[in-house]
């Protein structure tokens, strides 16, 4: 498994599970047969499907942003560690 596929799985799979939970929570309070978009009143199955993909997309974006921020801050942490390690090596080599 490549690193890119692993990252995609780490983002998409939890987002999928949370979207399912959100779907259950939202539609335990909302009756999909009463929803209307303009003149269009989708059948409940369509509403469930569209809502699930919207939830999945939003949670995926949130997870992707978190992953990106962790990766960005992780690279700066690794750079600081490498500089500290290089300084320690420099001190030990000259002592």
The pLDDT value recorded for residue 27 is 95
The pLDDT value recorded for residue 77 is 63
Provide the domain limits for residue 38.
3-94
Number of domains in the chain: 1
* Separation of alpha carbons 11 and 19, rounded Å: 12
**Per-residue pLDDT tens over the stretch 20-55:** 999 999 999 999 999 998 999 999 999 999 999 999
Report pTM. 0.72
* Separation of alpha carbons 28 and 82, rounded Å: 52
Look at residue 85 and tell me whether its pLDDT is greater than 90.
no
Across the range 10-23, mean pLDDT stands at 95
Residue 94 binned pLDDT confidence (cut-offs 50, 70, 90): low
The pLDDT value recorded for residue 76 is 65
The pLDDT value recorded for residue 75 is 64
* Separation of alpha carbons 84 and 19, rounded Å: 43
């Amino acid at each position: 498994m490549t690193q890119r596929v692993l990252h995609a799985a780490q983002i998409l799979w939890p987002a999928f599970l949370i979207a399912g939970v959100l779907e259950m929570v939202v539609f335990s309070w909302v009756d999909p047969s009463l929803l209307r978009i303009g003149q269009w009143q989708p059948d409940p199955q369509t509403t469930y499907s569209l809502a699930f993909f919207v939830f999945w997309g939003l949670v995926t974006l949130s997870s992707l942003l978190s992953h990106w921020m962790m990766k960005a801050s992780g690279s700066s942490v690794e750079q600081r560690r490498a500089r500290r390690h290089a300084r320690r090596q420099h001190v030990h080599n000259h002592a």
